[in-house]
Structure 1
Amino acid sequence: MNQLEQNKAIVLRFNQEFIEKGDLQAFEALVAPDFINHTAANLGLPGGREGVRDFIVNVLHAAMTDIKVDIHEQIAEGDTVVTRKTISGTQTGDMMGRPGKGQLTQLHIIDIVKIKNGQYSDHWAQRSVE
């Protein structure tokens, strides 16, 4: 597997193991200690690794059940992976100002992730919710 494929596999593992399953061991293995989430301020979260962990655990998993991540496409160049994906699940709790009513909720996301030494080092995202 070449470096671009390895970087894409790291992003895929993050999505499957941490976002879908909430596996904190995967998070610890895949996110660098000096990770910067450049989009965190838009959500009122800290910009370090704690902010992304807390969003997935305390916002996403607290508000949604049966979370599924569908990767629509990934593009890798150098140390950067761009992923277009949808996170979906049944929203049972309040999330990002939307009350939970047991309905299907989908987050459409384009992520840009920089990988250094096999870990997420930087992240930017554009998302919409329906």
Structure 2
Amino acid sequence: MILDNNIKLIKRYYHEVWNEGNLAVLDEIMSPKYINHTPGMPNPLPGPEGFKPIVIAMRTGLPDLRFEINDMVVTEDKVAIRCTMYGTHLGELFGVAATGKTVEINQMQVEYIKAGKIVEHWRVSDDLMAQLDHK
């Protein structure tokens, strides 16, 4: 039962928050003590209120943003996913002016869950070639 609830929680998070932009869902599914460990992102305040500006920025910069979950590993206190993030850079994103480029980024993400809420997030993205300035 706990594993099924964790699966539903994470699917809801990616579909409703990231793919649809429904920020109100964060208040329901995210702990007030939520911590985000995302490389290259500003260190937000804890909880949903600290995370909402990141979702807004991402969806402003990539208005067609969507995540596709490719694989999922579930335990009683965490869910690890391999996903692909898609979008078109049509608005400013963290200080970078719109380029019109489409992005497809492979990611590994781990969401820690406590009492039915997401409490902590870790992400690793495929950016080796970008770090090597490969165009």
TM-score by length of 2: 0.82
Percent of matched pairs sharing the same residue: 22
Contact 2:35 2:46 in 1 (8 A): yes
Contact 1:40 1:46 in 2 (8 A): no
Aligned length: 127
Q: 2:42 and 2:122 mapped to 1: Cα distance? A: 14
The structure with the larger Rg is 2
Partner of 1:107: 105
Partner of 1:36: 35
For 1:50-129, what aligned pairs fall within 5 Å after superposition? 50-57=49-56, 59-96=57-94, 98-128=96-126
Q: 2:110 and 2:38 mapped to 1: Cα distance? A: 13
1:108 Cα deviation (Å)? 2.1
Deviation by residue 1:7-48 (Cα, 9 ceiling, x = unmatched)? 0110110000001111012111111111122x1474222251
1:65 Cα deviation (Å)? 1.9
- Decide which structure has greater strand share: 1
TM-score by length of 1: 0.85
Deviation by residue 1:49-107 (Cα, 9 ceiling, x = unmatched)? 234321111x2111012222100001011211001111211111233565422221123
- Structure 1: which 5+ runs fail to align? none
- Structure 2: which 5+ runs fail to align? 131-135
Superposition CA RMSD, Å: 2.0
